[in-house]
Amino acid sequence: MIVGIPKETFPGERRVALTPAVLPQLSKAGIEVLLEAGAGAAAGYPDALYTEKGARIAGTREEVFKTAEIIVQVRGYGANPDAGKSDLPLLRQGQTMVAMLEPLAEPELSKELSERGVTVFAMEMIPRITRAQSMDVLSSMATIAGYKAVLLAADALPKMFPMMMTAAGTISPARVFIIGAGVAGLQAIASAKRMGAVVHAYDVRPAVKEQVQSLGGKFVEIELDTSKTEDGGGYAKAMDEEAIRKQRELMTRVIAESDIVITTAAVPGKKAPVLVTREMVEGMKPGSVIVDLASEKGGNCELTESGQTVEHNGITIIGQANLPATIPFHGSQMYGKNVTTFLLHLVKEGQLIVDLEDEITSGTLVAKDGAVVHPMVRKALGLESDPTPERSNA
């Protein structure tokens, strides 16, 4: 079984899908790795490190696609719609793709992949169950984003984070407000707390209160009907407009008192909810900073511009996209470990086994045998029934 690793082509993407450290584990399972020359260089992994671990280096991208039975990428076509389109002619029937693909946000692109006869697995669709934790790329990348968000905020804030007793007087600690206490939010809380800030956090799910407090944060209590804020897979669900309106009103005071606001709220396949309005921004103190981790999905802040840092009334709003790519060494390490575990789950004795009775396999399988098969993606395409391929070797 040959797994091919092409160089990432999404603008600014510096990660690589597999790192040299995982190659021996794959080799034991009968998986050989073919790497496009220079694919890991931007992440700090030169070709020599791969060859030391048994990988072969391909001179061209075309060779990778022509030779490999499984193509593994960080951002496949659905998550790389412009540059990724040039890879479509390189894909062949019966080939398998494992990557982040945005299948709910870009279902038409998943359909294009299916029409090439490719078996498609979307890593962001990994179910959030205990057995799949080691494959959960969203959690891995959210950890990096939460950490980096605090660094960006600290750099932009014209204050220091910790309280200091100095000969020139006492410096008060910065006040940081984290909206959303998922993986990114919890990492942001921990990072801001380590730097000495006073940290408050809010999430529509009251169950995370103890997690916030365990990291040293203070949980902001906002009374809402939270019975429908989380789906069966552990992902946040969109709230209705009335709940969002009430949430905004009650957060206004906390935001006005904060030096930094970091927003992390996202709903898979949908536009990010606007939680920080223009009026809230204008109520903040000059010099305050907002870091919007949902900028790629439209942003949690009304004034966010994806990929840009803007200023409004003295408030800096950072909408930098794809934060995990800014820490590519560890981003690749974590993503590669997730993908390796997933590959070892699929490949048995050198054969790719697509077992739809397995929750992990069926939850991530987007397309097979020329058709989109994932129920949620089919629904996004307006298709009614979903063809269910039998357990098979791909």
**Cβ within 8 Å of residue 15, ≥6 positions away:** 8, 42, 43, 74, 324, 325, 328, 331, 332, 335
Query: Is position 288 annotated as part of the catalytic site?
Result: no
* Cα distances (Å, whole numbers) of residue 376 to 37, 110, 267, 270: 36, 12, 14, 12
Given the residues 25, 47, 134, 235, select the one marked as catalytic: 235
Given the residues 27, 56, 128, 134, select the one marked as catalytic: 128
Secondary-structure class of domain 2-135+328-393 per CATH: alpha beta
Given the residues 86, 93, 133, 308, select the one marked as catalytic: 133
Q: What is the pLDDT of residue 193?
A: 98
Q: How far apart are CA 112 and CA 120, in angstroms?
A: 11
Q: What is the pLDDT of residue 230?
A: 54
Q: How far apart are CA 104 and CA 159, in angstroms?
A: 40
Structural fold of domain 143-326: Rossmann fold (3.40.50)
Given the residues 139, 187, 288, 295, select the one marked as catalytic: 139
User: pTM for the complete prediction?
Assistant: 0.90
In tens, the pLDDT along 259-283 reads: 999 999 988 878 999 999 999 999 9
**CATH 3.40.50.720, the chain: domain bounds:** 2-135+328-393, 143-326
Given the residues 136, 203, 259, 292, select the one marked as catalytic: 136
Cα dihedral 175→181→186→187 (10° resolution): -90
The C-alpha angle with vertex 230 and arms to 360 and 150, in degrees rounded to 5, equals: 90
Spans of the chain below 70 pLDDT: 223-239, 385-394
Query: Is position 175 annotated as part of the catalytic site?
Result: no
Query: Is position 235 annotated as part of the catalytic site?
Result: yes
- Helices 183-194 and 137-156, packing angle to 10 deg: 40
Q: How far apart are CA 109 and CA 80, in angstroms?
A: 10
Query: Is position 47 annotated as part of the catalytic site?
Result: no
Query: Is position 86 annotated as part of the catalytic site?
Result: no
359, HSE (Cβ side, Cα atoms, 13 Å): 9
- Closest by alpha carbon to 264, among 251, 280, 275? 275
Question: In which element (H, E) is residue 246 found?
Answer: helix 241-256
- Closest by alpha carbon to 335, among 135, 78, 184, 64? 135
φ, ψ at 387 (rounded to 5°): -70, 130
On whether the CB atoms of residues 276 and 245 are closer than 8 A, the answer is: no
Arithmetic mean of pLDDT over the chain: 92
Map residue 132 onto helix, strand or coil.
helix
Hey, which bits of the chain come out as E strands? 2-5, 32-36, 56-58, 70-75, 96-100, 119-122, 164-166, 169-171, 175-179, 198-202, 218-219, 260-263, 289-292, 309-312, 315-318, 347-348, 351-354, 365-368, 371-372, 392-393
Map residue 54 onto helix, strand or coil.
coil
